[in-house]
Amino acid sequence: RRKWSRVVGVLKELEEGCSTSIGRLKQVVDAMAVEMHAGLASEGGSKLKMLLTFVDNLPDGNEKGTYYALHLGGTNFRVLRVQLGGENSLILGHEVDRQPIPQHLMTSTSEGLFDFIVSKLEQFVEREGNGSMSMLDKRRELGFTFSFPVKQTSVSSGILIKWTKGFSIEDMIGKDVSECLQQAIRKRGLDMRVAALVNDTVGTLALGHYHDADTVAAVIIGTGTNACYVERTDSIIKCQGLLTKSGGMVVNMEWGNFWSTHLPRTSYDIDLDSDSPNPNDQGFEKMISGMYLGDIVRRVMLRMSKESDIFGDATSRLSVPFILKTPLMAAMHEDDSPDLKDVSRILKETLEISDVPLKVRKLIVRICDVVTRRAARLAAAGIVGILKKIGRDGSGGIMSGRTKSGETSSRKRRTVVAIEGGLYTSYSLFREYLNEAVAEILGEEMAPYVVLKVSEDGSGIGAALLAASHSYPS
């Protein structure tokens, strides 16, 4: 009995530590907007890098032709071909080839990685078929989606700042990512040109905008998390004199690295961070994204097993880092059978813990709920933070003194945020918590003007669209 009360105590403490009251979320919203401002004011002015992308106009539906894209992100690697009809037609068709990235290549050399990528690209191009002879003698334009922090030097080139999400290829840091790819392409004798180097969020934004011109920001919540949005060039203070035709530029926030003392952090987060290969880094991402949520739950369960005997003797697997993957955690969370039989099965198969009483299974579902709800609500606060920065949250921006006269009319403009990533698209409770929190923070009056739209395969297709809008006229 005493032991059970200790377990309940651990849960209570977790719930308190993960609290995301509306008041706290609004502090996170403000902190996000302020940090964005600081990151735009000076290089290194914030943990938010606020990277320039050199993308100053987004696809609008008039792009035409066949374009390719490569997507190197978290767990998968994708090659795509997109057919565009122009004149506001929808995308005529697209094909995707998905491949897991062999684990050893994630920590090998840049040559090893890019040779692998280009060999897959070549196979894909060779399967071109469908008799379009004109393609044979035409140079192919390629968009490259590279979902790691890059300091862009133009729309089609940029230098890798650091790796995230378990990748670690030391010799690539500081190198031009497009050049690495272009070299491997040349080596294979392929006639392709890297026309656009884009962050995955920028690809998502591009596809979102192609379909809906009110799209101003994009968020990815998958293995990792990040966001980008369209900023006015005159707000990008760290780059004085930046001029674009549209007066705007897409900024890649690298929001996974956002940090604020208002974030509800627990001892589990602190331990997860110090055990990680990148301590003090990607703090927001570590509370939100799919790579980490399962492991936070595992840490809570481990603590409970140490405080009590709720899992019997069979707890050794619980000490294995990352053994509980987020999709399995989600499956336990969403188990709607009255006796929680999926929870039983997953505990047995993954953690080798059997005969767990119903009361304990319910407790585990509760842990999953607390961890996921916090993650979803923090991501929601981040989104509203972006809207606040660009004056689309109904509040009049972060510095009301600076808002211009057009502000009242833009207050009630329809605003679309494109969203992509497995955590959002495949985990319904996460999605519901996020949507609900965005509406809650915005309030009844403003919420109907903000639309969150899933942009399926956007990060890849969007890169092809950007390759199209930045290709040489043929």
Would you tell me which residues interact with ligand ADP (CB under 6 A)? Answer: 73-76, 222-223, 290, 326-327, 330, 421-423, 426-427
Angle at 381 between CA 76 and CA 221, to 5 degrees: 5
Which CB sits closer to ligand ADP, 128 or 334? 334
Residue 70's H or E segment, with its range, is strand 64-72
Which CB sits closer to ligand ADP, 54 or 268? 268
Which CB sits closer to ligand ADP, 38 or 331? 331
Can you state the angle between helices 293-307 and 326-333, rounded to 10 degrees?
A: 70
Alpha-carbon distance of 215 to 209, in angstroms, equals 5
**Residue in 106, 138, 34, 26 with CA at minimum distance from that of residue 389:** 34
- State the minimum distance, in angstroms, from the CB of residue 294 to ligand ADP: 8
Which CB sits closer to ligand ADP, 141 or 295? 295
- State the minimum distance, in angstroms, from the CB of residue 8 to ligand ADP: 27
Alpha-carbon distance of 396 to 385, in angstroms, equals 12
- State the minimum distance, in angstroms, from the CB of residue 391 to ligand ADP: 29
Catalytic residue among 200, 273, 295, 393: 200
Alpha-carbon distance of 454 to 272, in angstroms, equals 30
Torsion angle, alpha carbons of 381, 417, 100, 281, to 10 = -30
- State the minimum distance, in angstroms, from the CB of residue 147 to ligand ADP: 7
Q: Is 165 a catalytic residue?
A: yes
DSSP state of 257: G
**Residue in 14, 16, 24 with CA at minimum distance from that of residue 437:** 24
Q: Is 245 a catalytic residue?
A: no
Which CB sits closer to ligand ADP, 231 or 269? 269
Which CB sits closer to ligand ADP, 224 or 391? 224
- State the minimum distance, in angstroms, from the CB of residue 421 to ligand ADP: 4
The residue sitting closest to ligand ADP, measured at its beta carbon, is 290
Catalytic residue among 162, 165, 286, 388: 165
Alpha-carbon distance of 346 to 81, in angstroms, equals 38
Q: Distance of CA 164 to CAs 7, 283, 452, Å?
A: 34, 12, 26
**Residue in 81, 59, 78 with CA at minimum distance from that of residue 192:** 81
Collect all residues with Cβ–Cβ distance below 8 Å to 247 and sequence separation of at least 6: 232, 233, 234
Count of Cβ atoms closer than 10 Å to residue 345 Cβ: 15
- State the minimum distance, in angstroms, from the CB of residue 430 to ligand ADP: 7
Supply the residues annotated as catalytic: 165, 200
